[in-house]
A and B are shown apart, each in its own frame.
Chain A
Amino acid sequence: GENVEQHPSTLSVQEGDSAVIKCTYSDSASNYFPWYKQELGKRPQLIIDIRSNVGEKKDQRIAVTLNKTAKHFSLHITETQPEDSAVYFCAASIAGNQFYFGTGTSLTVIP
């Protein structure tokens, strides 16, 4: 099956700085890559996603890039704010089901 690795496991940034989380996947058949944010005690929620026919996608302060050749994708958060503090999960999906998740990155934004 698919194997998704995520780094770093923890990340601390100063408010206003940028944060980058990186994921790699193993199966070249994966074609959908969502990112989820999970606040403490809450459910994971989709924040952005990208499909294999697109190299980059942006939504306000959040962007995701995909390099299919290298089999890696990244989440970029600019101008970080305290409310960005959460655990972020990347995932890869083959054929639209059986989503495989990374192990998560705990992001702390220091005011």
Chain B
Amino acid sequence: DAGITQSPRHKVTETGTPVTLRCHQTENHRYMYWYRQDPGHGLRLIHYSYGVKDTDKGEVSDGYSVSRSKTEDFLLTLESATSSQTSVYFCAIQRSGITGELFFGEGSRLTVL
């Protein structure tokens, strides 16, 4: 589907290296989110953004930072990747304003060796 893309879709890295995942939207929505998905845990919120340079922490934010310098891009950075951060990461945009649905990207699978 058009509207939101994530890159890279797959990445293998080593413990201690920095990693940045990119989420790009073409729909000009204000709210964007980063989730991680792990078996038995469902989807857990890492960080979210409610505008350019406006971000806040979610329930599992330790070890992650985010930046949003443009409406269309929301970056998730792992400063020093650990094996516990091996996961599938989903970005989402919130359509129709604050009461709208979440629309997810296709996900980025990260493996930290």
Within 8 A of B (CB), among A6-37: 6, 32, 34, 36
Chain A residues with a Cβ under 8 A of chain B = 1, 6, 32, 34, 36, 42-46, 49, 51, 89, 91, 95-104
Chain B interface size band reads: 20 to 34
Q: Choose from B58, B97, B104, B107 the contact partner of A98 (Cβ within 8 Å).
A: B58
A98 touches B48 (CB 8 A): yes
Q: Choose from A6, A34, A42, A100 the contact partner of B101 (Cβ within 8 Å).
A: A34
For the complex formed, measure the closest distance between the CB of B99 and the CB atoms of chain A, giving whole angstroms: 5
Determine the distance from Cα of A97 to Cα of B106 in the docked complex, in whole angstroms. Answer: 21
Determine the distance from Cα of A101 to Cα of B41 in the docked complex, in whole angstroms. Answer: 9
* B113 at the A interface (CB under 8 A): no
A103 touches B98 (CB 8 A): no
Cβ–Cβ < 8 Å partners of B33 in chain A:
99
For the complex formed, measure the closest distance between the CB of A6 and the CB atoms of chain B, giving whole angstroms: 8
Most B Cβ at <10 Å: residue of A1, A42, A96: A96
Residue of A nearest to B40 (CB): A103
B58 touches A46 (CB 8 A): no
A32 touches B99 (CB 8 A): yes
